[in-house]
Amino acid sequence: MRTLFVCWAWPSHLYPMVPIAAAMRASGHDVLIGCPPSLVPVAVRTGLPSMAVGHDFDLGPVIQRLLLKAKPGASGPRRRDRNGTAPRTPLDSFSDTADAMADGLLEACRLWRPDVIVHDATTYAATAVGRALGIPTVRHLWGIDYTYLQREFEPVAFGPLYRRLGLDEVVVSGETPTLDPCPSGLQLPVDYRPVRLRHIPYNGSAVHDPGLLARSRRPRLCITWGTTSSRFGDDDPVLTMVLEAAADLAVDVVFATTGKEATPVALQPHWRTAVMQPLHLLLPYCDAVVSPGGSGTVMTGVMAGLPQVCLPLLPDQQVTADRLVASGAGLRVTPRDATRASVRDALEAVLTDARHADAARGLREDARQQPSPRDAARFLERLAAGCAPEEA
Amino acid sequence: MRVLFVSWAWPSHLLPLVPLAWAFRAAGHEVVVATQPPLLGTVTGAGLTAAPVGSALDHAHLLGNALRPLHPSDGAEAPAGTPAAQRPGRRRRLGLSVRLAEDMTDDVVRLCTSWRPDLVLHEPTTYAAPLAAAALGIPHAPVLWGVNFHAAAQAFEREAFADLCAQLGIEDFDSRGMAAVDPCPPSLQVPSQHPRLGLRHVPYNGSCVVPDWLNDRPHSPRICLSWGVTPQWAGTDDHAQASARQRELITTLAGLDAEIVVAVASRELLGGEPLPDNVRVVERLPLHLVLPSCQLLVSRGGAGSMMAAVAAGVPQLCLPQYPSDLMPAERLAGTGAAVSFGDTPPAPAAVRDTVELMLRTPSFRAAATRLRAEAERQPAAAAVVSQLADMARDFGRRPTDR
């Protein structure tokens, strides 16, 4: 079977699909990663063959505006898109990325002839191209199904693309099969039946640093701004506040950084800094994790059974944080209202209140009970063979 | 469980471990791949976690000293028909393996002590792994790369590694471990009494961006000429002469109505002069991506190339370069999927004529297809992962006799 994995240009959207892609390759299937040129170097480093698809569309400015709005001192919400006009839907940025990928993806499919396309949930071009060419497509989630909450906007956002491809009707999220690695205790309620699989953390690869694993008797906290929130570097006042709050506690800290943030002044000399170390290598040696609540961090924390504190900056992070709070495994501090004291209290609570640790272990058990990627691969085989998803 | 893979830093030895490592990760296990510093980037480039062990030795030089070519440029050729064991290339039994183990063992022991793997898997000539595992009582198993020409060396291990065993405070060790993980189809493999875990071979020859030309159907039969990564010019052979010989072979093959894809680690090996139009030189392009579009593979019959062609169902012409190439090439020829030149010097015209004969004789393709089908019937990596994990768990439950 030939499976094309498609993703637009950020690592956090590609990484969740890497373990199942590699597992399928290991069992003898042909696998190819298709992504815009700027992600190709990241894709090649997974060890899987890759192909540049379409061109890049820079979502940076849009995300940066969202981040600014979330931080302390921001003015009230302003809804303006890149041209200064009111946006049509919350999915405008994704219709831009879909437009940038669609033609390249059509060409890639004609050349490589995949039997099935698996795509990141926000890579909407894949669903459209798959429908146009009669190739089955499957959404792969990175955590909570945030995109499903926005499905009502898809017909407007992607109508022009579908029409350009000669299709009258937009295929909306949930109408195609969904591979879901999120434990049910964390996932949002949805109206479709997902194909569940166990989440295997992949946050890139690195050389193992045994020095980072050594711990003292003090509790150990991992502070990370992830790969997405840290793209916008500079001096993030929220991150500084978190570091200052941690300094108030008798804890050891591992600051996991992509190196893009300015080195925070609030770092204590005895803390460890892990530059570009994949989180799945660090978290098993920590007691709690604090982050903006990006899905890569949260899911890796779940698999390590850690309680978490989230300071959500982006809309999907806010929903993830709320789900984590509902599960008992985490606490949310809203950055705009956060103070050093409120962050410190939250950190202290997840490190000392056993209920959070218990709930986190429960989530991990839930996650470990999910079927292995092997079962998901069998589902894809049946789909490629033309069986209806319901029979699978 | 925690699974440690170990290989010394040579790509053809390390790369076959990669798909099995992926399969362990997908089953929820923690995986670390330990190797010497030169290949840490190869490990992380395969999406895996690397751990450094040992030092940055001059591996090309070591290999050059350990392997004497069958047809060296200095003319001191062994008479045709000399058994491999009596050829001058056999300098010191397991000398290279001992040198590598001396470099790596302490660090592998240290890593095993801090990271505490539940299972150690290694490529067969990386003795630091079974030595460290024996010293610490950790279950271990070798992962073969193809036809196991190294099996014969087992008789000499005890003597060769006596000093290292003494340093580790162990009397003996068994490099064969619990069972050999064997990607080679049984009809191709050397028979062995030791337990074997068959594995469906999935070639991994590195990672890359797939070039556009590979997606188009070739206009004429495509023949792949692979050098692998072992340096043919190292040691007593001479770079310039080897390069001239390879150019002559390429030019002669280009006389056929075929597209010749020359896969090399570095284009520099072929000198700067232009080659015929129907020759495409590709640098560091993983063979497993090229071979499915090829009618024939011409190579020295190294394990990485041979097994990638077996998995692609492509007939092979083997031109052995080293004594250790002879037996695998002979076994492959025995399946009907290949012709081996044995220890006959590969004169370009003779190679071209053989290629031509193989292209018009359907039996080679048929045999290669049968061999691929046999390879595909071997248990998939996920099943082997379950078996190995079970064996490692059982290992802990009974008193060890290792």
- The helix (H) or strand (E) run that includes residue B351 is helix B348-359
As a whole number of angstroms, the distance between CA B298 and CA B338 comes to 10
Residue B402 lies in a domain: no
CA distance B209 to chain A (A): 5
As a whole number of angstroms, the distance between CA B207 and CA A360 comes to 37
DSSP one-letter code for A144: S
Domains of chain A with bracketed CATH = 2-199+370-391 (3.40.50.2000), 210-368 (3.40.50.2000)
Look up residue A219 and give its two tokens: 């509790």
Q: Do A47 and B207 touch (CB under 8 A)?
A: yes
Residue B208 lies in a domain: no
Q: Do A27 and B209 touch (CB under 8 A)?
A: no
**CA closest to B32 among chain A residues:** A208
As a whole number of angstroms, the distance between CA A104 and CA B100 comes to 47
- Tokens 């050999």 sit at which residue? B180
Whether the CB of A73 is below 8 Å from some CB of chain B: the reply is no
Q: Which residues of B touch A204 (CB under 8 A)?
A: 47
Residue B206 lies in a domain: no
Residue B232 lies in a domain: yes
pLDDT tens column, B248-276: 999 999 999 999 999 987 777 787 788 99
Boundaries of domain holding B387: 2-201+378-397
Domain co-membership, B99 together with B178: yes
A346 with A331: CB under 8 angstroms? yes
Q: Do B52 and A278 touch (CB under 8 A)?
A: no
As a whole number of angstroms, the distance between CA A310 and CA A347 comes to 10
CA distance B49 to chain A (A): 5
Domain co-membership, B181 together with B251: no
pLDDT tens column, A130-145: 999 999 999 999 999 9
What order do you get walking across the sheet with B259-264 strand by strand? B279-283, B259-264, B222-226, B296-299, B316-318, B338-340
Q: Which residues of A touch B114 (CB under 8 A)?
A: 210, 213
Residue B84 has pLDDT above 70, yes or no: no
Q: Do B289 and A49 touch (CB under 8 A)?
A: yes
Instruction: Return the bridge partners of B51, or none.
Output: B34
The full length of chain A comes to: 392
Q: Which residues of B touch A45 (CB under 8 A)?
A: 44-45, 47, 207
pLDDT tens column, B177-233: 999 999 999 999 999 999 999 999 999 999 989 998 998 888 899 999 997 555 544
A384 with A136: CB under 8 angstroms? yes
Find the mean pLDDT for residues B315-319. 97
Domain co-membership, B230 together with B196: no
Domain co-membership, B173 together with B83: yes
Look up residue B128 and give its two tokens: 């630091």
Domain co-membership, B393 together with B355: no
| Long-range pairs of B239-245 with CB within 8 A, sequence gap ≥ 24 | B239/B269, B241/B73, B242/B73, B242/B269, B243/B269, B243/B270, B243/B271, B244/B271
Residue B237 has pLDDT above 70, yes or no: no
Q: Do A202 and B47 touch (CB under 8 A)?
A: yes
Q: What pLDDT does B227 receive?
A: 73
As a whole number of angstroms, the distance between CA A45 and CA B275 comes to 32
> Across the interface, which of B22, B30, B207 has its CB nearest the CB of A26?
B22
Task: Give the predicted TM-score (pTM) of the model.
Answer: 0.92
User: Where does B91-130 show beta strands of DSSP type E?
Assistant: 119-122
As a whole number of angstroms, the distance between CA B339 and CA B350 comes to 12
CA distance A27 to chain B (A): 5
Split at pLDDT 50, 70, 90, the class of A110 is very high
Picking from A230, A318, A330, A261, the residue whose alpha carbon sits closest to that of residue A290 is A330
Residue B33 lies in a domain: yes
Whether the CB of A18 is below 8 Å from some CB of chain B: the reply is yes
As a whole number of angstroms, the distance between CA A302 and CA A356 comes to 12
Q: What angle do CA A269, A271, A274 make, to 5 degrees?
A: 120
A135 with A109: CB under 8 angstroms? yes
**CA closest to A20 among chain B residues:** B26
Split at pLDDT 50, 70, 90, the class of A244 is very high
> Across the interface, which of B19, B215, B376 has its CB nearest the CB of A111?
B215
Domain co-membership, B171 together with B39: yes
Q: Do B200 and A27 touch (CB under 8 A)?
A: yes
A324 with A185: CB under 8 angstroms? no
Q: Do A40 and B26 touch (CB under 8 A)?
A: no
Domain co-membership, B367 together with B388: no
Number of domains composing chain B: 2
pLDDT tens column, A274-294: 888 899 989 999 999 999 999
Q: Do B19 and A25 touch (CB under 8 A)?
A: yes
> Across the interface, which of B114, B202, B208 has its CB nearest the CB of A26?
B202
Domain co-membership, B326 together with B369: yes
CA distance A168 to chain B (A): 31
CATH of the domain at B125: 3.40.50.2000
Domain co-membership, B268 together with B294: yes
